[in-house]
Structure 1
Amino acid sequence: MAPGSVTTPVLDEKTHVIEKPKQQEGEREQWDTKIEFLLSVIGFAVDLGNVWRFPYVCYRNGGGAFLIPYLVMLVFGGFPLFYMELALGQYQRIGYAICIIATFVSWYYNTIISWAVFYFFSSMQSEVPWKHCHNPWNTPNCIDFEQRAEYYRQNITAKNYTTPNEEFFEREVLGLDGDKYNIDNLGPVNWRIALCLVGVFVLVYFAMWKGVKSSGKAVWITATMPYVVLTILLIRGVTLDGALEGIEYFIIPRFDRLGDYSVWVDAAAQIFFSLGPGFGVLLALSSYNKFSNNCFRDALLTSGVNCGTSFLAGFAVFSVLGHMAYTQNTDVSKVAREDVGLIFIVYPEAISNLSISSFWAILFFFMLITLGLDTTFGGLEAIATGILDEWPQLRKRREIFILVLMIYCFLGGLATTTYGGIYLVQLMDTYGAPISILLIVCLEAVAVSWIYGATRFEVDIEAMLGPQHPAYWWFWKICWMVISPIFLLILFILSLYIAPTPRYGEYEYPTWSIVVGWLIVCSSLVLVPAYAVYKFLITPGTVAERIRTIMIPEEAPVHTEEIRVYV
């Protein structure tokens, strides 16, 4: 943990008012307006996963059957943890514990955005370039949409064929050349993707260089534009032939799937990673709030908007999948694919068959860019907040510090822009965060509820919200103390048991790369026991005294206004 201060506030027991402590070296900013904070949190939570992972895991788990466990996990796991982190960040000013994970994510997530940038500019033609097989990058095995549709109608099986949208993504965007490049041979840097990545980091820099004063302005565009585009795409999607079949697949439950534990595990994982507790971002963003800000209302609003966005994206995506199934004369369950193919192969193919396809493609990929940038703002702000709270003197040189951070993340992600970079992206997406974050947030919930104390945490929240604090404390306490830690621990154990492996197409990753992946997992987890051992060794006293000392919060938070404690 990176506490926000080294100054302890003084409590006047008669008036129950905590005196204002001295300000830290280097002034700590706050959000200009409440709406900028809300847009930033919504922008972080609503990301590519809402239009990529949510539709896919819903698709894979039987459509409507997935929505029931999804909502159950929202109520008993996702929302309580989301609320806990907003309150914790606002009160304690915690800023680091997740920097390693956030670094790994920054190394590959921005490359995915750079692919969307490439598609965005490639779409600025009379028709999208992935519609036909008449391009320099196409192979003799390429079969366009019309020919495949004819094969489906005549019940002809075409073997070893590829589609123009697959070849555009793999051969033109990524630069893959058959089996030449893979995790064993990444090849040279693809300069066009690297240039797109430079553009992404330039945008991120100018959105972050002034802190929340600048990023708060950027989210007015990046956090709102996806809703405009999603709404337009949804209206267009539901007017397509076959759209109803896709929507029915999305919303009608197949109750026999509810007995499959994997559906519940996927639902818990999706709601957890969608809302994003544990990545340090909620802690960082809420730490710039005023102390008396109503974080409960914020949690309720933003988590609701996030899940509503997933449903909106689900309707938009499944209407298009239904149209694809209709035109190919096949079932909805046979038109999608795993990995990034849903947003970079399947959906672009559907777009290519719409009238004025370039217009829809530009809209779609602009939406992906804005979704990705919002999440990048939050992830990198978590790193920046942790470091700047630990060394507040750096705030006076924030512009230079952010520039160094951008260069560091760009150099770290450069390997993912190689011709075989997609294999590295899939490796890091599998091991960089999803496994370790489960245990870290479980430990965070245990630390807050059992070590710091749920009752003490309740008093902290009352200090911020006053006597109008949310009712039903028994529900939050049960979730924080029992339900959420248990379900996170179960998910972590299942992740170890299932031992997920990265996949891209039919490629099988070699053993050495799997070992590297698990080392990436351990690199962040090892910091927890390592720091505990370090604190134990440097703390004076007997063994019992050391344990008791290191389990007590070291420093009280600094706030720029009076803290009234209601007793």
Structure 2
Amino acid sequence: MLYLEMLMGQYSNEGPTTLFAHYVPAFQGLGWAMALICFTVAIYYCVVVAWCFLYFFAIISGETVVWSRCDNVWNDVYCIETEAMKKCKQRDPSKPIAFNGSCIASAIEGLKTPYDQYFTNVMTKRSSGIEHYGGINWSTLLALAIIWIFVGLILLKGYVYLGKAAYVFSVAPFAIVFVVFWRAITLDGAIFGVYYYFGTPDFYTLLHHETWTEALMQVCFNLNVGYGGIIVVASYNRRKNNCYKDAWVVVIATFVMNIFGGVVVFASLGYISKQLNKPINGIVSSGLSIAFVAYLEAMQAMPYSSVWSMFFFAMLFLLGFGSVMVSAETICTCIYDEWPSTRSFKWVIAFFCSAIHLFFGIIMTTESGFYWFTLLDEFSGSTSLCLIVSMEAFMLMHIFGHVHVYEIINEIFGERSGSILSMLGPHSRLWEICWKFFIPAMGLMHVLFTVIRKDPKVEDYMRREDFPLWALAVGRCLRLLPLLPVLVFFIVNVIRWRRKKMSLKTLFFQPVQTPRDSRSDQKDISSNKSGESGRLPP
């Protein structure tokens, strides 16, 4: 799907809304569904970026000493320090657990490190439930506002500046993770974490549909498939650009980054496991805890711990900020392409996009914000995303037609050669089989698995707390919301076609015509995006 989205975006020089409107008008809403998913995901994902931003500046200001102790006002008796654990081990190996000023033999449920309590009680200021809003965490709100202001400024400057920023936000994290990797694997106990990561596969989990559901969602998120961002970015390529090679580069780079990042994280977990005398699977309760708790504690044991921690959160911030920028650019592109006259008011669109994201993100800066974050993370873009990807593949291969898709491939890459290597090249029929059968089937299976999936729970400080029924109802509405534009635009276009007395066949297929100019060939790519030169003839 990554290759297919790059191919269609590069050939048409358009964003997802006008791309689908020109090729298959009946599915014009598919592009707006992608934009809506980008909108909802960016709202809560930017909060994670804000937390990284706050951690980064806390490290610079020397706050690492504070969150490594248990004598702060936000700590309680369940807080345990690493140094106290070491003293207990030295004093009596049979009682290695430090609790409330004494040494005990076995761990008590609810024991947390000061890093965990800092994230829970200071960074998120978590209330007792989603219905208890409490006050606003002003530091998080300020960080969120600063991030969206910078996003608005980059959007205002256009895609040229976004492309330049992408060099930093894409390359720098790779350099950082490779540097941190070599330090993480030298930690005491790191080998246990790495072995847990690679050497203890649990094949029984492959029988659980939740495993495949989460894997599919993670692949779509990592590669940005189904969000419309790939189509937007590829629309700036020259028409003869080798997008097939680009797709492989993205996949391989993402794979390598995930492997190295996983080793860094699990090496850190192995260190903590040895220090706390607890199994790795009992250390943290969620993915956020790994990033904001486990890794931070592991880095504290390193020489120059502040430097390593600063690198880590800088990497997370750069990766997150880059994703938020692409999401915001996708939304703006959909607006510009649908209503070209809005390009004259680009500053209004850019800052309105940032402001509306900030407005809806305010609720996640309250004391109940973590619960809202979990709700959106669980429901936004899950079922709808995979269904949209399935519809996209089905529409392009079965309605628009695989013959026309391969005509586009031949125009970009030339005719297929007769060599054996061509079986794995851009013309390979393997991709056709995946696009026509596997991807639609996997998307529909994901929808089925999601329907029978258990209701989510919030990873709370000392317990797992169910969402109230009204919150689950809101979540289910969010799950289906992105699909609404597909139905709305289908009905609207049917009415338009009937009023114009046009054949409904043209609603499902438009003649393929080569776009006249590539966006990258325009003199001012940042100010003259699409317009008439980047559009397909009606």
Q: How much has 1:503 moved relative to structure 2?
A: 2.2
Q: Which residue of 1 aligns with 2:273?
A: 325
Contact 2:58–2:64 at 8 Å: present in 1 too? no
The AA in structure 2 aligned to 1:89 is G
Q: CA deviation at 1:411?
A: 1.1
1:477-492 paired onto structure 2 within 5 Å: 477-492=432-447
Find the counterpart in structure 1 of residue 56 from structure 2: 120
Tell me which residue corresponds to 2:229: 281
Does structure 2 retain, via aligned residues, the 8 Å contact 1:209–1:402?
yes
Change in CA separation of 1:360 and 1:129 when aligned onto 2, cut-off 3 Å: farther
- 2:195 aligns to what? 248
Matched, 1:168 2:115: no
- Partners of 2:363 and 2:202 lie apart in 1 by 44
Aligned to 1:363: 311
Residues 273 and 279 in structure 2, CA contact (< 8 A), matched pair in contact too: yes
2:186 aligned partner:
239
Q: CA, structure 1 residues 214+468, in 2 after alignment: closer, same or farther (shift >3 Å)?
A: farther
Q: Structure 2: which amino acid aligns with 1:527?
A: P
Aligned mates of 2:415, 2:270 — CA distance in 1: 51
Shift of 1:159: 4.7
Which amino acid is the alignment partner of residue 118 of structure 1? L
> Structure 1's 381 and 542: CA in aligned 2 closer, same or farther, altered over 3 A?
closer
Counterparts of 1:159 and 1:475, CA distance in 2: 51
Deviations 1:107-149 (A, max 9, x none): 1111111111111111121744221112232234322223346
**SS where residue 401 of structure 2 aligns?**
helix
Residue identity in the other structure for 1:91: Y
| Cα distance in 2 for residues equivalent to 1:559 and 1:137 | 63
Equivalent residue number for residue 157 of structure 1: 107
Cα gap change, 1:129/1:203 in structure 2, threshold over 3 Å: closer, same or farther? farther
Contact map agreement 1:128 1:357 (CA 8 A) in 2: no
What do residues 68-93 of structure 1 show as CA deviations (whole Å, max 9, x unaligned)? xxxxxxxxxxxxx1101111111232
From 46, 68, 71, give the equivalent of 1:134. 71
Secondary structure of the residue aligned to 1:304 is helix
User: 1:322 offset after TM fit, Å?
Assistant: 1.4
Distance 2:478 2:269 in 1: 35
Matched, 1:537 2:484: no
Tell me which residue corresponds to 2:23: none
Please list, as runs of the form range in 1=range in 2, the aligned pairs for 1:468-479 lying within 5 A after superposition.
Answer: 470=425, 472-479=427-434
Residue segments in structure 1 that go unaligned for 5+ positions in a row: 1-80
In the alignment, which residue of structure 1 is the partner of 2:479? 521
The answer to whether the aligner puts 1:222 opposite 2:169 as a matched pair is yes
CA RMSD of the aligned region, Å? 2.4
- C-alpha contact (below 8 Å) 1:132/1:144 kept by paired residues: yes
Supply the AA of the counterpart residue of 1:186: Y
Q: Is the 8 A contact 2:404 2:512 kept in 1?
A: no
- Note closer, same or farther for the CA distance 1:471–1:160 as it changes in structure 2 (3 Å cut): closer
Change (3 A) 1:253 1:269: farther
Write the distance in 2 (CA, Å) between the matches of 1:471 and 1:95.
22
Distance 1:489 1:82 in 2: 19
Q: 1:541 to 1:405 in 2, by over 3 A?
A: closer
Q: Is the 8 A contact 1:337 1:346 kept in 2?
A: no
**What SS class does the counterpart of residue 475 from structure 2 fall into?**
helix
Compared CA separation, residues 391 and 115, structure 1 to 2 (3 A): same
Indicate the SS of the match to 1:133.
coil
Structure 1 position 337, deviation (Å)? 2.1
Assess if the C-alpha contact under 8 Å between 2:41 and 2:377 holds in 1.
yes
Give the count of matched residue pairs: 479
Q: CA deviation at 1:160?
A: 4.3
Residue 175 of structure 1 aligns with an amino acid whose one-letter code is K
Cα pair distance change 1:235/1:87, threshold 3 Å: same
Alignment of 1:1-150 (within 5 A): 81-92=1-12, 93-96=14-17, 97=31, 98-124=34-60, 125=62, 127-148=64-85, 150=88
1:205 paired with 2:163, answer: no
- Name whichever of 473-482 and 463-472 sits farther off: 463-472
In structure 1, the residue matched to 2:449 is 494
| 2:126–2:370 Cα contact (<8 Å) kept | no
Question: Which range is displaced more, 132-141 or 358-367?
Answer: 132-141
Amino acid at match of 1:102: C
Q: Distance in 2 between matches of 1:95 and 1:164?
A: 46
Gaps of 5+ in 2: 18-30, 89-94, 98-103, 418-424, 522-533
Superposed, 1:448-459 pairs within 5 Å as 448-459=396-407
Instruction: Say whether 1:187 aligns with 2:134.
Output: yes
Separation in structure 2 between the aligned mates of residue 320 and residue 285 of structure 1, nearest angstrom: 35
| Aligned: 1:558 with 2:515 | yes
Q: Is the 8 A contact 2:406 2:427 kept in 1?
A: no
| Alignment counterpart, residue 309 of structure 1, candidates 242, 253, 257 | 257
Structure 2 CA distance for aligned equivalents of residues 480 and 128 of structure 1: 53
What is the aligned counterpart of 2:320 among 372, 375, 382? 372
What CA distance in whole angstroms lies between the structure 1 residues aligned with 2:362 and 2:514?
38
> So what's the TM-score if we normalise by structure 2?
0.84
Shift of 1:235: 0.5
For the structure 1 residues 352 and 507, does the alpha-carbon distance in structure 2 shift closer, same or farther, using more than 3 Å as the test? Answer: farther
Matches within 5 A, 1:354-433: 354-433=302-381
> Equivalents in 2 of 1:313, 1:550: separation in Å?
46
One-letter identity of the residue aligned with 2:248: L
Q: Distance in 2 between matches of 1:174 and 1:86?
A: 38
Identity score, percent: 25
- CA distance, structure 2, for counterparts of residue 160 and residue 274 of structure 1: 33
C-alpha separation between the residues in 2 aligned to 1:439 and 1:349? 39
Letter in 2 for 1:252: G
Amino acid at match of 1:560: D
Distance of aligned partners of 1:84 and 1:341 in 2 relative to their CA distance in 1, 3 Å threshold: same
Residue 534 of structure 1 aligns to which amino acid in structure 2?
V
2:81 touches 2:114 (CA, 8 Å); kept in 1? yes
Structure 1 window deviating more from structure 2 (137-146 vs 223-232): it is 137-146
The 3-state SS of whatever aligns with 1:507 is strand
